[in-house]
Structure 1
Amino acid sequence: MAGRRRARAVGFNHVALEVGDVEEALAFYRRIFDFELRGKSEDMAFIDLGDQFLALQKGRRQPADDGRHFGLVVDDKDAVRKALAEAGVEILPGPFLDFLDPWGNRVEVVAYENVQFSKAPNVLRGMNLAHLSKNPQALDELAEKGMSP
């Protein structure tokens, strides 16, 4: 196998979460986040994240997640914290802003300014988020990888 080139993983197109009911899931997530639907069927809904999406798929059967989670990047982490409180959703103990949805999917909320993950300027413009920027630590981390904006 020497010399064989392997494909390089370059990012995520989407994350799929299993939920008990698609309409209930959309209602739950709308209480926490502002979003547009990319598409919807009886058994699936696709929440638009610009050049990515979150899929909600009917059919959750396993118990609640513990360590398994995904990090959802947002423009305003404090607004999420407030929306969770208003919706009566418990924030999980620990150093991060984690919560479980009604079907046991664990979500970690991450502020765009704090992470290396970056949307291209044209995507941010299209999402009406061109005002977002990175904090100095995130910029340093990107610079170390040769990825300065």
Structure 2
Amino acid sequence: MNKDTAPLKTRAVGINHVALEVEDIEAALDFYGNLFEFKLRGRHEHMAFIDLGDQFINLSEKRSQGPDTARHFGLVVDDREPLRQALKAAGVRILPGPGLDFLDPWGNHVQVVEYRSIQFTKAPHILRGMGMEDLDKTKEALEELVQKGMAP
């Protein structure tokens, strides 16, 4: 089959949201609200949505599985150190390893990475809308973007 007759494949563009299962929406909003500055996007029955600029986290009530061990999601932040301190102050156990990983009270494994150190990039107008236009990238993150033809 040549290129002209090959079936088209859908291209994944990004992640719109991540759904986290929790036992109690109000408790989850309190927990995450004590750790992060966030805006509540909206609510539906047994769900709440936390804005992350042009993406969001969906908190869904009623956990249907045990705590996550290997499965996790990566959350991008501007600075990990204030979060590390907030986690310690809240008595949340930070998982062993070189980064900043923790389990929320419902067993969701959260891996925290800094914006400046990874290839993940927000468009300037999104950063501006989030009040984060001063975020920059490390030389290594920029080189990774250059290698993929995605340099800003």
Bin the TM-score by the shorter chain.
over 0.9
Matched, 1:39 2:42: yes
8 A Cα contact 1:39 1:45, kept in partner: yes
TM-score (norm 2): 0.95
- Other-structure match for 1:83: 86
- Other-structure match for 1:5: 8
- Other-structure match for 1:136: 139
- Displacement after TM superposition at 1:95 (Å): 1.8
- Displacement after TM superposition at 1:94 (Å): 1.3
- Displacement after TM superposition at 1:67 (Å): 0.7
Matched, 1:50 2:46: no
Q: Which amino acid aligns with 1:136?
A: K
Q: What are the ranges of 5 or more consecutive residues in structure 1 without an aligned counterpart?
A: none
- Other-structure match for 1:27: 30
- Displacement after TM superposition at 1:115 (Å): 0.6
- Other-structure match for 1:124: 127
Max Rg structure? 2
Provide the aligned length of Structure 1 versus Structure 2.
149
Give the secondary structure class of the aligned counterpart of 2:94. Answer: coil
Matched, 1:64 2:67: yes
Q: Which amino acid aligns with 1:126?
A: G
Q: What are the ranges of 5 or more consecutive residues in structure 2 without an aligned counterpart?
A: none
- Displacement after TM superposition at 1:42 (Å): 3.5
Q: Deviations over 1:34-67 (max 9, x none)?
A: 1001101331010000100000000102111001
TM-score (norm 1): 0.97
Distance 1:61 1:50 in 2: 28
Distance 1:87 1:135 in 2: 30
RMSD, matched Cα: 1.0
- Other-structure match for 1:111: 114
